[in-house]
Structures are given as structure tokens and as C-alpha cells.
Structure 1
Amino acid sequence: MTINDKAPVYVMGYFRSGPAQTHKSENLHFAYSRDGLHWTALNNNQPVFISNLGEGILRDPFIAKGPDGYFHMVFTIRPKGKSIGYARSRDLIHWEDERMLEVMNGVENVQNCWAPEFTYDAKDESYLIYWASSIGDDLSNSKHFSVRTRDWKSFTPAQEFFNPGFQTIDASLIEWNGKSYMAVKDESQVYDASRKRPSHNILAVADQLDGPYEIIEGISTPDYTEGPEFLQLKDGKILLIYDYWAYGKFGVMETDDMENWRELRPDEFEFPFQARHCTFFEITEEEFSPILHRYGLEARYPTPTFSKVRLAEEDYQGFLHDPFYSKTISMWIRANSIHGTQVLFQEGNDENGLTLRLQDKHIQAVVCSGGKKAHISSPVIEAQQRYHVSVVFQKGTFYLFLDSERVAEVHADFRYVERHCSPAGFGGRFEKDGFGDSDGEALFDGVIQGVKIFNIALDDKDIKLIK
């Protein structure tokens, strides 16, 4: 893994399934994080890329950016055999050159090629691709193999990469302090009843990328885990993230010296619902902005408006009626008058919903669920001044931003806003609003522009990014 000092955004790629691989969505999904521990699913946790290879199965994605400027992705495909999946992208939105790479070409009796990954070797100016294959009559003889390529078209012959003498899959590499470290799943108990410990991940080390790797005794993840992945954070800490696939959850260990590891408590991290076997990589703010708008933006209304705009009629379905845990409303405003009550945005009412308004030089907002309310306010509005206003609800915390600065926050007694059927829009009141007011339209006297509605809760850096 190569760390880019200008890359403050971590991206996670994954496929989805429930416990023990139920309810599968074997396609590429994305989430992002600012701290590497708390992850927000993008695209409503729906696929961002669907494979056309073989049976259309994409599992165990691994993505990293090469020196050619492309994000290269390798992944497990079906049917099983000698090949892995491959695609590349300039922007992580549009993917091209999707094809099978027959990495075990020339090898007989290959059952599978699982969980491929790669590392760019700057010394050799080539990519080292590695994966697990079982050679023989079944899946009980898994070892790790590798090839090298400079152009993703021609490959060296496959050779054995790691064979500790027992069954392993799911290898992941990180280069640190002049050495190469490998996290890998020990699943010997699956095929060897004499080995009593359930599947878990172990750590190995080598002086060079090609190995040979030697197991570091005494370091392992908990039982019933697989799919280990490294993520090096900007503060120098290294995370080892692993998958309790049978239970549908993740675990995390951290270190700053690759020797002393601490297992994090479940309340110290959060991963998307049903995420499985992840890849982690860093991108810049410039690279992230179009991804955020493509996969986090529910609706955008860029045209300047001087009157009330209705976005939704009374209904029980639709993104302005649906329940939500997280939401962001963003807009530019310039008020001619700063007196009285002027509604800027409304969805729902004082039972369930969200309202943003200008009230006598104050920007105010309220979010409601089941009749409970959380209010927030900032007294900084002046007439004829242009302001960027954002309000964010994030699982019980309500934030107000003015010109990309967080000016107020409050904690609600609820984490979830229930379904709401009232009309919705901006520039005025449509029915009783979230404050409980219903006297007149409360029209905004001024111009509203660049209204954006996100289905995720943006943080301080994200708000600056969308301004």
C-alpha cells in the first residue's frame, strides 16, 4: 500500500451478504471514511459496479491506484477456475477494460482463484498479483500463487508465493519499515480435523516483497474470522480489519509497531450493513468530490429561484417521504428581508420531518420523529448577504453549518426519522411545518440557489467540499 500525503479520504470497496453468506449482493459497493473507523455507505448501500464476467459474480474486490493514474481492481469471479476478474477506472465511477485474467494459465487441475490482490513494486516497476488456488480434486489444497505484470496484458508464469504447510486463503500485504507483512487466513481446521482452532487470521513477515514469508508467532485475530485487510492511517497507526463472515460483522485491531496489537471495542468503529471482505484505499479531495456527488447526492436544484418550489406532493413513498437515519440539506441564500418567518426548506411536519427557516435574523432548523423534536439555531444572518447554509442529521445528532463552518449542534432523543407523507419543497411553507406553524406560506424573500439533498450525513470537510 502506498500512502499519499495529500489523501484525506479513505474509500472502502466491498460486496454484501448477511450472516453465513445469506442475502448476497455480489457486486462492488462503496463506503467512505475520514478516520478509517467509521464508514458511511454510498449509493444507499447499493452496487456502484456490476460485473459482466462469467456468472456476473464480483466478490473480494481489491482496488489500488497505479503509477499510470488508473485505479486497478481485481476480484473473485465465478465459475471457479484459472481466472480472476479485472477492471480499471480513472475516476472510480466509470469502469473499463473489464476482462478475465487467466493467471493460472498452464497449470493443471486448478479448482479456483480466490481473493486476488496486488502490490506495485516500484523497484521492479511491475505489479505483483497474488491469490489463493487449490490444485487437485477439491478445495482442500489451497496455497498462494503470484504473477507479475507491467501492463495488465502480459504476465509471468504463475509460481508458488506462500505455502506454510497448511490451508490458507485471503492474503493481504503491507510494506512497513523496510519489511513486507502479510495477513492471511488460517483455515486448516476446515479440511484437517486434527487442527482444533477455528479459522482465524495470522501474520507473516518477509525482508522483501516476493518473500519468503515466515509466520510471526503469537499474533492472530479472533476465531471465526477471515478476509484480513490492512489500512495505514495518517496518524501512523495501522489497522487490521477482519470479517466475522458467519456472524455478519467486522473486527479491528490496531498497532503502531507491527508487534503490539490492540483489539478495538465494537463501539469504536462502524461498518456498512452487510458489508463483506473489504478493500481500503486513499483518494484526494479532488478525486472524492465527484464520487460524493454521484453516490451521495439524492437531488440537486441549481437554478436560482425567487419563489416557492414544490418538490413532492403528499405521498407515502419517495426520497422526501422516506424514513431516514442520515440526511444533509444544503443551499445558497440571499435574503432581501431578515424579519418575520421565512421557510427555506420543508419536508414532513411536526410529527416526522425536517424544516429549515429564517426567523428574525436567525437561521433555525428542527427535526422531528414521532412528535419528538430537536431544535437548532444561529443568530448571524444579515440582509443582502450571500450565505451557504447546511443542516445535517446523523443518527440522533443535528448540525447547522453557515458558510461551511459548524455553528451549532444538538443531540435528539431519537436516531431515526419516521416516514412522513406531507408535501415538501423549498422557499416557503406547504402545510404545517416542523415547528408546528401553519399560519400562511411563510415565503422566503430573496433568492435560493444550488439546493442539494444528500442521503448521507456530511461532516465538516464534506460540507466544504460541496460548497
Structure 2
Amino acid sequence: MSLRRTTFAFVALLTAALSCLVNVPAAHAATYSAYVMGYFKESPNQSGDSYALHLAVSSDGLSWTPLNQNNPVATPTAGMQGLRDPYILRKQDGTFVVLATDLKGRVFNLNNQYIHVWDSANLTGFSNYRRVRLHGMNTHSWAPEAFWVPSRNQYAVIYSANNGTRDVFMVNYTTDFINMGAAQVFFDPGFNVLDGDVLVDGNNFYLSYKNLSNGNLYVARSTTGAPNSFTTLTSGLRQGDGIEAPILVKSNTSTSFWLWGDSYAPANAVFYSWQSSNINGNAWSALNQRTYTAPINSKHATISPITEAERAALVSRWGAPQWNRLKSYNLPGRYVRHADNLGRIDPFPMDPTADQQWRLVPGLADSAGVSFESVNYPGRYLRHSNYAIRLDPNDGTAAFRADATFSRTAGLADGAWASFRSYNYPDRYLRHSSYLLRIDPITDAQGRQDATFQVTY
């Protein structure tokens, strides 16, 4: 081969290689270092319900910052005009699509052939809202999710439905989330199932699901992602009185995986989590609620990896909360709240929601300290009176300002958390005792744990 022909061949080969690099989908080229969560909301007495799309972000995948003051970022305007079970998928071009169940409220005996769909460039805005039809059956279309299937060059949209025999997962294949293709059975293990979630990791497709016959969560695997190709890997997992809506998440920074689920009872918007370093095995460890904090009243969530730039853009667009919550260290299912003008720690969830939300303002007696102003009763602060903690209006006196001021220190039981020393009784700290808040001298390990809190959202 002549030198000219050799050079030409090399240039052509190099050009082709560069072209391949240029056309690598953004979905595979980015370095992810954060996470986004989508969810709807429910609270015990329904006062905190919101059947719309909410967003939260996290840097570690465990502690979440709700955006837009935990208010909706998108609301359906057609069908039932409400959503449940949102799902966020990063498409092959790096943009996003959002899918959701077309259902509003807590009435589940309605069959619906449609789901809600939005497009989004970066989740700072949503466009092309539409309802798309998945099938012509007289059944529901719950908890739609999607994943890319390279062998088909299409997206698989899976959802819970009844095929006339039992509750199964159905699938439609699409390239544009408009033309959905014909519905077919995706997963039918011979018993009723609900809430399928697929995580694609390398050449493996992992499906988490709820077995309705025993109420447990399971993880299955397929090497093709094809219908009815999954083999279950785990024995059943459950926390709490009942659990549903599993989410499989791969850590951005380690080889670990998380499995999330939330409480089955509509009145209990409580998340539970497990962790495993071997998703192909049967070794999942339940995480202590001390290690994670989900957004207030969040239900049936979706979690996707994002870049740090995307996380920052979401916070810039929608805003971080202007309030905080205080989580108990040794009773991490409980949060500081006011009730009947007393300070206490109560189990989450609770109503009214705002009873557990606080504005941490500069100390009324010393701006280097902190005072806790109620969100739903502005002008009222946590203060001590006869060592007990009350929620009282600021009467403008020096005594009140001193009683309502605390010095924030490193947590007495865990330095990464926080403790709060009384301003005018500096030998005493804010702590809980029999669930009530008070200020006491701290002299033992029990007291150090009672006096340690996490400032979170």
C-alpha cells in the first residue's frame, strides 16, 4: 500500500473514531456526583397531600434537600389532573422525560389506560406535557417507569396492570414517548406483583418489585432486559408494618447499591432503606434512619444520578428551603415539633406539617447564637421556662430573648450533628426526656444522645 493510501486510511479511521467519541450520548458521558428525587406528597390527615411533581436533591444520596419549599414544580392539567408515582429518566441524548400515574387522591378503584408525560432539558423547566395511551384493556396503568434497551434501540416503559389473570408488569416500547407501541407482559412470576423498578448497570438489568402475596420486596436480574427474562436474587425484604414502591440506586462514589421503599399505609410517608455491596447476592443490610432523611411527606419516589452542575442549577432555579427540621439522634424517626405550645419530639409523619419546621434565626439575645422561630406561628419561639421548652410569642423582654437563645455546638454524642447550649444557663443543654424538650445539665451517655440533633430539611 502506498504512503498516500496509508495516510488516507489512517485519517479516515481517526475521523471515524473521533466521530464516535463526539456522538457518545450525554447519558453515558457525564460524571455523576449527586442525585435528584421526584415524588408526590401525602400526610396522615391529608392536609399535606399534593398530587403533583416535587423535586429534591442530594449530594450523598441519603440526606435530601427539597426544592421550591417542598411545593410542586409541575402539575398535570388533563385526565385526573393529579399524579402519583412519578419517574425521572435521563434519555440517551442527556435530556429527561418524566412519567407518572394519572391518578389523584387515594381512590384506587379507577382504571386508566393513560399516563402523564413531560419532557425536560435539565429539570429546571418542563414542556410538551401530554397524556399517552398505553393499552386498551380495562385495567390500571400504575407506577410507569422506563429504561433504555440497546439491543432494540428503544425505551421500555413498564407499569403495573392486571392482564386478566393477575397483577403483572406490562411493557410498551417507544423511541419518543408519544408512539408507545403495543402492550405486552413484561414480568409475570405467577403471583401478583406491584411497583416494578429497573436499574441498568453495565450489561445487567436489575428489577425490584413488591410481591403482593406476602408484602415483601425482591430484586431480580436479567442480562437482556427482555420480557420474562428475570431471575429473582433475594429473599423478601421488609421494614415497618408494610412497604412498597422499591427504588434501586447505584452509589456514585462506591460499589454500593441502595434499595429504598416507602410505607404502604397512605397515612405514613416513611421511607426505609437497605444497602448492599453485592447486588447479585442476597445480602442487604437495613440502614438506621439516623443515616438518611427523606423530604417531608414524600411518597413513591424516583431517584436518578445527576452532575454537580445539574444539582447546583436545580437549587438555583427552584431554591433551597427557608426552614429546617431537627432530627433526634437516638430516636431518629422523631423530629422536634410544637404541640399545645410545648416543645417535644414526635414520630414522623405528623400533622400539621409545619409544626416540625423552624426558621433558625440569629439568637435574640446574642446574634452569635441561634433562636428557633416557628414557621406556622411567626413571632413565636422555642424558649425555656422552669427548664421546660415552650413555644411562646416574643414579648420583647430581655428575659424572653435570653430564654429563647442557644449556642450551637458540635453534637455531644456525634460531632457531625449538633447540640444547643442554653444562653442564660450555660451548664444546660436542649434535650428530650419522655419525648418532651427541656434544658438540663448533661452528665452521662444517655443525656449526650438526648441532647444531640441533626439540623436537616
Equivalent residue, structure 2, for 1:191: none
Select which of 26, 32, 36 maps to 2:61: 36
Select which of 406, 420, 433 maps to 1:373: 406
Aligned length: 322
Amino acid at match of 1:16: K
* Cα deviations by residue, 1:154-207 (Å, 9 ceiling, x for unpaired): 22211110111111110001123532211111113xxxxxxxx3x221222222
Select which of 237, 242, 265 maps to 2:288: 265
Question: Where in structure 2 are the equivalents of 1:275-424 lying within 5 Å?
Answer: 275-296=298-319, 325=358, 349-350=364-365, 355=367, 365-369=368-372, 370=383, 371-374=404-407, 396=418, 413=429
Distance in 2, Cα, partners of 1:200 & 1:323: 31
Amino acid at match of 1:149: T
Equivalent residue, structure 1, for 2:72: 47
Distance in 2, Cα, partners of 1:49 & 1:348: 37
Question: Where in structure 2 are the equivalents of 1:170-319 lying within 5 Å?
Answer: 170-176=195-201, 178-188=203-213, 197=214, 199-211=215-227, 212-222=229-239, 224-234=242-252, 235-246=254-265, 247-258=268-279, 259=281, 260-296=283-319
SS at structure 2 position matched to 1:165:
coil
**More off after superposition, 111-120 vs 12-21:** 12-21
Cα distance, 1:5–1:67 mapped onto 2, change above 3 Å = closer
Equivalent residue, structure 1, for 2:376: none
Distance in 2, Cα, partners of 1:255 & 1:5: 24
The reply to whether residue 82 of structure 1 matches residue 113 of structure 2 is yes
* Cα deviations by residue, 1:377-425 (Å, 9 ceiling, x for unpaired): xxxxxxxxxxxxxxxxx98479xxxxxxxxxxxxx94599xxxxxxxxx
* Cα deviations by residue, 1:114-154 (Å, 9 ceiling, x for unpaired): 00000012343311110011245xxx831111011112222
Distance in 1, Cα, partners of 2:431 & 2:133: 48
* Cα deviations by residue, 1:244-297 (Å, 9 ceiling, x for unpaired): 131331111111111121111222211112111010012222222232123225
Amino acid at match of 2:176: D
- Contact map agreement 1:396 1:415 (CA 8 A) in 2: no
Cα distance, 1:375–1:218 mapped onto 2, change above 3 Å = closer
Select which of 61, 73, 89 maps to 2:86: 61
SS at structure 2 position matched to 1:239:
strand
- Contact map agreement 1:185 1:201 (CA 8 A) in 2: yes
Distance in 1, Cα, partners of 2:429 & 2:85: 39
Cα distance, 1:4–1:243 mapped onto 2, change above 3 Å = farther
Per the TM alignment, residue 27 of structure 1 is displaced from its structure 2 partner at its CA by 0.9
SS at structure 2 position matched to 1:291:
helix
Distance in 2, Cα, partners of 1:221 & 1:125: 36
Equivalent residue, structure 1, for 2:342: none
Equivalent residue, structure 2, for 1:337: none
Per the TM alignment, residue 323 of structure 1 is displaced from its structure 2 partner at its CA by 9.3
SS at structure 1 position matched to 2:369:
strand
Equivalent residue, structure 2, for 1:164: 189
Question: Where in structure 2 are the equivalents of 1:112-127 lying within 5 Å?
Answer: 112-127=140-155
Distance in 1, Cα, partners of 2:173 & 2:258: 27
Cα distance, 1:65–1:166 mapped onto 2, change above 3 Å = same
- Contact map agreement 1:19 1:245 (CA 8 A) in 2: no
Amino acid at match of 1:85: H
Greater per-residue strand proportion: 1
The reply to whether residue 96 of structure 1 matches residue 127 of structure 2 is yes
* Cα deviations by residue, 1:68-110 (Å, 9 ceiling, x for unpaired): 2321011100363111111111121211111111011xx33x2
- Contact map agreement 2:117 2:129 (CA 8 A) in 1: yes
Distance in 1, Cα, partners of 2:264 & 2:28: 28
Distance in 1, Cα, partners of 2:275 & 2:66: 22
Distance in 1, Cα, partners of 2:256 & 2:236: 17
SS at structure 1 position matched to 2:309:
helix
User: Quick one: percent identity of the two aligned structures?
Assistant: 25
Amino acid at match of 1:98: Y
Question: What is the RMSD computed on CA atoms of the aligned residues?
Answer: 3.2
Per the TM alignment, residue 111 of structure 1 is displaced from its structure 2 partner at its CA by 1.7
**More off after superposition, 21-30 vs 269-278:** 21-30
Distance in 1, Cα, partners of 2:46 & 2:255: 34
Cα distance, 1:207–1:22 mapped onto 2, change above 3 Å = farther
Per the TM alignment, residue 8 of structure 1 is displaced from its structure 2 partner at its CA by 1.4
Amino acid at match of 1:209: G
Distance in 2, Cα, partners of 1:167 & 1:65: 29
* Cα deviations by residue, 1:35-80 (Å, 9 ceiling, x for unpaired): 1111122222221211112121111000021122321011100363
Distance in 1, Cα, partners of 2:133 & 2:408: 59
- Contact map agreement 2:66 2:320 (CA 8 A) in 1: no
Amino acid at match of 1:92: L
Distance in 2, Cα, partners of 1:348 & 1:324: 17
TM-score where L is the length of structure 1: 0.62
Amino acid at match of 1:207: T
- Contact map agreement 1:71 1:88 (CA 8 A) in 2: yes
Cα distance, 1:217–1:10 mapped onto 2, change above 3 Å = closer
Amino acid at match of 2:275: E
Equivalent residue, structure 2, for 1:148: 173
TM-score where L is the length of structure 2: 0.63
Distance in 1, Cα, partners of 2:456 & 2:319: 9
Gaps of 5+ in 1: 189-196, 300-321, 328-345, 356-364, 377-393, 399-411, 417-456, 460-467
Distance in 2, Cα, partners of 1:21 & 1:226: 19
Distance in 2, Cα, partners of 1:118 & 1:20: 32
Greater per-residue helix proportion: 2
